[in-house]
Structure 1
Amino acid sequence: MSYTKISALLLFTMTALHWETTIGFVVIDGNCNDVIRLPCKATNQTKKFRYVIWYKVLEIENSPIIKKRGNEVTYFNSTNNLTSVFLGEKETLELHNVQPSDSGTYRCYLAANAGGQNYDSFIGLNISECVQASTVYPSTIIATDSCLAVIDLSTSWAAVSFILISVTKIILCIIAVGVCDQVKFRTRRKQQDVRRNTNGKSSSCKD
């Protein structure tokens, strides 16, 4: 086989491997505080293995998260800031109360039995930013209600005061009219008495 054919075969093999890796890599999107389940695709290759271990792929090295050998489960004190980690069915990695810091690439590695082949698979995780709920201050609501109560009370008192003032004015007008009538009546009566006395004196002088 010529050197050109060997080079072409190697290039084809590398392209095929790269294509398979790109197609097989999946990114899961999640929200803050969700429960996320990352499947281990390596279990599709074999169900017999010595142990399984999950890593978080970092820039320098892979950081171990959890390891299972038979019925024994080991948790690692990694720097992933993962709140709660569990292994589910088919070695699925369960992450509870996820945070944006949990975003990244995860690796599931299956260590084969003696004479077997090791398998691993990769999966991406993208967690959205946490949104904080707006805080409601009860004191503000109470103050607003108090202001409304004061405004309603002031309006009521203003209406009552206006009615009392109006009634008072009417009563004073009636009293004033009555007094004026009494004064006029007494004045006329005095004038009539004066006239009578004057007429009486005139008639006696003529006699």
Structure 2
Amino acid sequence: MMSQTMSAVLLFMKVLTVYCLSPSQPKVEADCDKNVDLSCLCRDSTHFQLLSWYKIIEQKRHFLISTGDGLVEKATFSQRATFGEGDSLHLPAVKPSDSGTYKCAITANVGGQNKDCVVDLVVHACVTNTPTMTMTNEMLNTIPSAVNTSQKNGEELPLPVVWSSLSYLAVGLAKVLISCIGVRVIQACRM
């Protein structure tokens, strides 16, 4: 029994160590409407047959752009995507909808090893400037007159106090009436 517990603890420690020491995928954060270049981190040489970029949507890869033998091929829906420096994926004027996981896939020359790597892009929400209303002198002059409408010819009209009191009284009476009706209904049901 002790050896099984010890084995379980050792297995847990190994899994935890692998999880903690494994590199997390790179993450790029960008502001809205800024240009972004995503580097292909698994590209270690300039010799490859094909280098392709994909966007991962719901665990499916969607082709964006590729290069090989001096030719560039683009997907019809991703006309914005181009190649940047070092075959990075260049996305101009990104929007929050561009956020997601991008995959760089390298098809190696004969005798080489294919590689792929991913990078997460997070685009912050776009901030739009809304026009603010500025108070004019005319507006500022109407504020005191609106506050002082409870005074007319030197007489104070405490209408807000009266109406507030009446509304509280009406709500209180309604609650008492409903409670009385509820009590009568419960008594009638018990008989």
The TM-score, its normalising length taken from structure 1, stands at: 0.53
Query: What is the CA-CA distance between 1:19 and the residue it aligns to?
Result: 5.8
Indicate yes or no: 2:71 matched with 1:72: yes
2:43 aligns with 43
Larger radius of gyration: 1
Pairing 1:57–2:53 present: no
The CA deviation at 1:125 is 0.5
The answer to whether the Cα contact below 8 Å between 1:66 and 1:73 also exists between their aligned partners in 2 is: yes
| Letter of the 2:32 counterpart | C
**Percent of aligned pairs with the same residue?**
29
Amino acid at match of 1:54: W
1:167-178 matches, within 5 Å, as none
Q: CA deviation at 1:71?
A: 1.6
Q: How does 1:23-42 map to 2 (within 5 A)?
A: 23-42=23-42
- What CA distance in whole angstroms lies between the structure 2 residues aligned with 1:103 and 1:130? 12
Aligned counterpart, 2:90: 94
**CA separation of 1:19 and 1:73: change in aligned 2, threshold 3 A:** farther
Q: Indicate conservation of the 8 Å contact 1:83/1:97, yes or no.
A: no
**Does the CA-based 8 Å contact 1:37-1:94 persist in structure 2?**
yes
What secondary structure is seen at the aligned counterpart in 2 of 1:122? strand
Cα RMSD (Å) of the superposition? 3.3
User: Which stretches of structure 1, 4 residues or longer, exceed 6 Å deviation after superposition?
Assistant: none
Counterpart for residue 123 of structure 2: 127
**What TM-score do the two structures reach when normalised by structure 2?**
0.57
Q: CA deviation at 1:129?
A: 0.8
Query: 2: CA distance between counterparts of 1:60 and 1:92?
Result: 22
Unaligned runs of 5+ in 2: 1-9, 140-191
Residue 90 of structure 1 deviates from its aligned partner by: 1.5
**C-alpha contact 1:33 1:98 (8 A) present in aligned 2:** yes
- 1:90 aligns to what SS in structure 2? helix
CA contact (8 A) 1:83 1:95 kept: no
Q: Counterpart in 1 of 2:80?
A: 84
1:106-185 equivalent positions in 2, closer than 5 A? 106-135=102-131
Give the 3-state SS of the residue equivalent to 1:49 in structure 2: coil
SS at match of 1:64: strand
User: Which deviations, in whole Å up to 9, do the C-alpha atoms of 1:159-199 show, x marking residues without a partner?
Assistant: xxxxxxxxxxxxxxxxxxxxxxxxxxxxxxxxxxxxxxxxx
Structure 1 portions without partners, runs of 5+: 1-7, 149-207
